[in-house]
Chains A and B, each alone.
Chain A
Amino acid sequence: MISATARKKIENVITRYPEEEKRSALLPALHIVQNDNQGHLTEEMMKEVADLLEITPLQVYEVATFYTMYNLKPIGKYHIQVCRTLPCALMGAEKLVAYLEEKLGIGLGETTSDRLFTLTEVECLASCGTAPMMQINQNYYENLNKSKVDQILEELKQKATS
C-alpha cells in the first residue's frame, strides 16, 4: 500500500499540471512510490497510483515497463548501476564491472544474499568525462579505481549496519 507520506507528495505533484491532465504526474508519482518502497514498485501500488491519477492500471503498467528506472521486483538496499556505454567502456567500465562482481560475489542483475547490493549495467549516465563511473541509488561516483570502490562499498556496508 502507498504510504500516507507518498500519497501526500503525489497529491502535491498533481497540482503542477492542468486539472484535466493529472496523468502528467505519472512519472514523478512512480518515482515517489518507488523511493518510498525500498526501490521497487508492486502491482498493488501501481493500481493505487492509477486511482490517484484517474487513469487505468494498464496505463500505469505500460509506463512502468517502458522506463528503465522503475524496478518491478525487489532490489538491494543499494542499487549499483555501472555505465557501460562507449566513453566509460574506453576507460575501463568492463574492468569495473568485473571487479564489482568479484567483490560482491554476484553477477549482473543479481542481489547479494544479505540484500544489501544489486548490481546492474546501464546505458550512458552523462558522466563521460569522469569515466569510469557508477551510480548508487541517487549518488554518482566518478573517476573510479579499485581503492575508491573498496572505500565506497565499505562505507555503505557500515552505514547499513550502524
Chain B
Amino acid sequence: MEQILFKNMASPGYTPKISSYIAMGGYEALQKVFSEKITSDQLIEMVKKSGLRGRGGAGFPTGTKWSFIPKNPALTKYLCINADEGEPGTFKDRQLMEKDPHQMLEGIVISAYAIGAHTAYIYVRGELDLAMKTIEEAIEEARKKGFVGKNILSSGFDLEVYVHPGAGAYICGEETALLESLEGKRGKPRFKPPFPANFGLYGKPTVVNNVETLSNIPYIVNRGGEWFASIGVGKSTGTRLFSLSGHVKKPGNYEVPLGTTFRQLIFDLGGGIINGKKLKAIIPGGASASFFTEEHLDVKLDFEEVAKAGSMLGSGAVTVMDEETCMVWAALNLMHFFSHESCGKCTPCREGAPWLYKIMHRIEHGEGKMEDLDLLVSLCGNIAGKTVCAFGEAEVAPILGTLKYFRQEYEYHIREKSCPINHSERLATIGFP
C-alpha cells in the first residue's frame, strides 16, 4: 500500500531539513495554492471532499470544522496545532514532529490560509524537547525560503508560526483546555458551546487541529480530495498512523489504510505476540478506549466499525497484552493515570477517579469485596457523561471494558485474596532484561 505521511522518512538519507523535504516534492502544494490562486472556500471544499477526519481522537471532519470559521476578514482568527500527544499508547505525532516537521508546517501554512488566520501556535507537550527544537529550526528554514512570515511566496498572505510548550498536563490535549493553557492559565476544559470556531483563543475564532491531521493537507492539495477519499473505507478515508505497543514483537508506528484489521496490524505488521504467547486483550484506541479481546481481531480499523464493536479508534494507539497479563492490574495502572491527570474542574471526575483507583487498588491487593464490583459499575455510571469534557467517559473505559470481558479475574482477586498472576515471576521473563 502507498505510504503518505511516512513516505518521506522511509526514503534513504531523509532528514528533518528543508532540503530533504523539498527534494521529495515538499512545499509544492503551498506553491500550487498561490500560483493557481486557489481560494479558501475551494480549499475547504477540497478537504471536505477528502473526508479527512481529525486524527487526535474525536474524528470530527476537518473540512467541516474549518467551514465553521466566520468569513469576515476583519476578524482576527487563530490556528492552534494540538501537539500535546499524551494519550497512553500514542506516539505517532512525536515521530512526525521529530522526523518530518516541514510536512506538518506546510499543512499549517495552507490550513491557516484556508481559515484566514495570520498566527498559528503549535502547542507541543513540554516533555518533547527534541520535537520543539526540530520544529523551531524548521520554522526558521521555512522563513528563509519565504514559506512562513510576511507576504508568503509574494501572495500577500502573512503567517507567523510559534512553538508554545506545554508543561505536563494530559488534559491540555482537549482542545478547550489547550486554549486555556495557551492563555497562561490552568488547562481546564471550557463549556461548549460556544465552540472554538466562534470563541477560541483570546475569544477569537479558532481552529484546533492535530499534527497528523494537518500533515495530510499538502497531499490532499497536490492530489485532490477524491484521491484521498478513495483510500480507506466508508467515512473513514485516507491512511492513518497506528501506534503499536505492548507485548508485540515489532512495536512502532505503522501507516495503514483505514479499514485494515487488528489482526493484520498486530500479526502481519507487528509480528505477533512476544515469547510465543497468546493474545489476551487489546486497547484499540488509546487508554480512553474500552478493551477488546481476541474475538475482535477481525474488526476493521474504521471509526464506525470500532464504535459498533463497543470501543473507539481514538488516538490510534493499539496496546497489546498477552495471556499472562492480569487485567485488574492493567486497569489499575490506567486508573492511576486518570486519577493523576484529572484536572479537577468537575466533581464526578475529580472525586470519582481517585475513588475508582482506591477500589481497584484494594481488589488487586486482595482486599476487595464482591460488592465492590457493583460499586465500580455504579460509580462509572455516575461519572461518564457527567463532566464538561470527555475525560469522564475516558476514565471509566478501562474498568468497564475489563469488567465486561474479564470479570472472573476480578472475582478471583476477591475470592482468593490474591492475584492469579505472579508478578515477580512474570517480570523475570518479560521486559527490562
Contact = CB atoms under 8 A, between A and B. Distances in A.
B433 A27 contact: no
A128 B89 contact: yes
B263 to A, nearest CB: 19
Interface residues of B, number: 60
A126 B86 contact: yes
Given A53-B184, A92-B427, A123 B126 contact: no
Nearest to B167: A67
Contacts of A66: 169, 186-187, 343
Given A95-B432, A126-B128, A68 B167 contact: yes
Interface string B81-100: 00001111111011000000
B330 A86 contact: yes
B165 interface: yes
A129 B245 contact: yes
A29 to B, nearest CB: 9
Nearest to B125: A126
A93 B330 CA distance: 13
A150 interface: no
Nearest to A140: B130
Contacts of B431: 90-93, 95, 131-132
A57 interface: no
Interface string A124-149: 11111111100100111000111000
A118 B400 CA distance: 37
Nearest to A27: B167
Given A30-B167, A86-B89, A87-B88, A128 B243 contact: yes
A23 interface: yes
Given A86-B319, A95-B427, A27 B334 contact: no
B1 to A, nearest CB: 20
Nearest to A55: B184
26 contacts: A31-B167, A66-B186, A67-B169, A69-B168, A70-B167, A87-B88, A90-B246, A90-B247, A90-B330, A90-B431, A91-B246, A92-B427, A95-B427, A123-B341, A124-B170, A124-B287, A126-B125, A128-B89, A128-B91, A128-B246, A129-B243, A130-B251, A131-B251, A138-B130, A140-B130, A145-B432
